[in-house]
A and B are shown apart, each in its own frame.
Chain A
């Protein structure tokens, strides 16, 4: 009975948001430099209790980073969940169709182009290039799969994605090899980091990612129907090819937007939806909003760990998520070999 209440999408989401709030606060008060929570709260209510340095730490360094973590984690998780639904593949992640290789190539081109032309590539250039590269790669994938003639077959689209990613990757490697002095900077970008301090970028990305997430969440029922396969989905009144392309485009836009500010942070799109599926079942009306919130929680916690556990060294957040991802895969493998009792979604 209690389970029935907790499995109500509204209740579960509200609870998760409360947890997210606590995580954000916890993260805000965690870090190499000790900030007294009471001092921060007093400062927020108008009193001048923080030194300029501590103010900068909380409001200009930690806060944008945490908010970036919330946006990126949420978007990656919900994109992953939607990809897994339309491709009926548990290993599908937001990067499946080439977003990562495309963004990497874009970033490399801009950074190398900068050095060739004699200036240091500005952040805005890198952000723009990452976004354009990611979207272009996915468009190329869709075009290639249509060109082969099976624009809606899941296998063909995935393979086209693999091919496009490999191609983009090879170009990137070639460019880097010719300009080996830029390797470090590109590599650091690719490891992923949430060290964003530009509020305007955060705001723009938040709007784009938020819109994409809203569209995906409104398609929850469609994603449920997709689970029975293309043929049967059609008999239930859904055009699976259209749904697939639509979701791919929307999820890609959201993913490319967050990748452009955070680099490539992996495993969030796979770990979070899967873990949630084990707990609340495959119904998307509850899975999608929960993935959104718990993706944020997961990434903020991972980033907090990355910047505090091994100080003064900063563990790239992508390393933390990967370190958590590998054992998680093993855990999933073990559980799928045993029977599970499904939950009935309310």
Chain B
């Protein structure tokens, strides 16, 4: 009995090994065939400055041989960046969450979370941008000879600038990228400057709502750092980067300002917030200081970060110009 099952297993394994060997041989051949055809395709369009090497921390550096002509982006933030630096014409498909700019070729069902490798390859890309390193996808794309860039969400403003510049480099629009970054810096500096010092030095506290389950941010997060530029302190400061608070905790902390980044996703208005039980006792609610941010702008660390900063600055300026300037919390 045992001998028959063992021989069956051996037979099965041999099939596996044989198939693996076939596969291995094919992949090895791949290398030699590949370089032949790819140079064939791109010699006519050899752009100056290429090949380039770009780095997106914490990933390893990647070398791009030639200017990408067909880009697939599975990262909403990078989609915005690509269009901002002028590479929009080279973008052939973007994931279902890349809703900005409107003329981005959004494909329903194309997902950055569970990518279908063949669907991606169906667009015949020469560059694919991903938000996280998924080994199997990367190996698949690599085997097909497609360049990949893994660009995780930026952790701070400087990283955003660096990412925009690197994306520009990778796509052959380096100059434009530099311009975008300069514009952002100027806009941000200007926005921050418009807010009077008294407001910034008041030590105002805020509650930034990520979702109606009361998840919020601390100063360690990207947006926390932006608020910090205005001298604002999160009521969750000192804790985890992302933490879930309870109603009582928020009421007890009594924030001066409330920012919503889930208004679009969860269909919330300032009235809805004010109507939450016990919340009418919160300073921010009592003084009408509930500010709605655009969901996407407040969660994508791409070129529109400057818009976010401007929005926040505008709200704070309204605050400053209104009669009742709140006392320090």
Contact = CB atoms under 8 A, between A and B. Distances in A.
B16 A206 contact: yes
A33 B27 contact: no
A180 B215 contact: yes
A214 B9 contact: yes
A201 B116 CA distance: 21
Contacts of A199: 20, 23-24
B292 to A, nearest CB: 22
Nearest to A217: B5
A314 B114 contact: yes
A196 B144 contact: no
Interface stretch (B130-138, B269-277, B301-309, B321-329): B130-138
A178 B241 CA distance: 9
Contact of B5 (A32, A48, A214): A214
A149 interface: no
A119 B122 CA distance: 31
Interface string B127-164: 00000111111011001110000001000000000000
A307 B136 CA distance: 14
A140 interface: no
Nearest to B119: A312
B12 interface: yes
A48 B115 CA distance: 29
Chain A, interface SS category:
helix
Q: Nearest 5 pairs between A and B by C-beta?
A: A313-B109, A312-B119, A60-B143, A56-B144, A197-B139
Interface stretch (A61-69, A150-158, A266-274): A61-69
B119 A218 contact: no
Nearest to B137: A195
Nearest to B35: A52
A210 to B, nearest CB: 5
Contacts, number: 156
Contacts of B23: 59-60, 63-64, 199
A57 B119 CA distance: 11
Interface of B: 1-2, 5-6, 8-9, 12-13, 16-17, 19-20, 22-24, 26-27, 29-30, 33-34, 37-38, 58-59, 107-111, 113-122, 124, 132-137, 139-140, 143-145, 152, 215, 240-244
A233 B58 CA distance: 59
Contacts of B26: 55, 59-60
B13 A206 contact: yes
B31 to A, nearest CB: 9
A311 interface: yes
Nearest to B211: A180
B114 A191 contact: yes
Most chain-A CB neighbours within 10 Å: which of B1, B144, B215? B144
A51 B9 contact: no
Interface stretch (A181-189, A322-330, A331-339): A181-189
A137 interface: no
Nearest to A184: B113
A203 interface: yes
Contact of A307 (B38, B109, B118): B118
Nearest to A196: B136
A312 B110 contact: yes
Most chain-B CB neighbours within 10 Å: which of A180, A193, A211, A213? A180
A220 B107 CA distance: 51
A59 B137 CA distance: 14
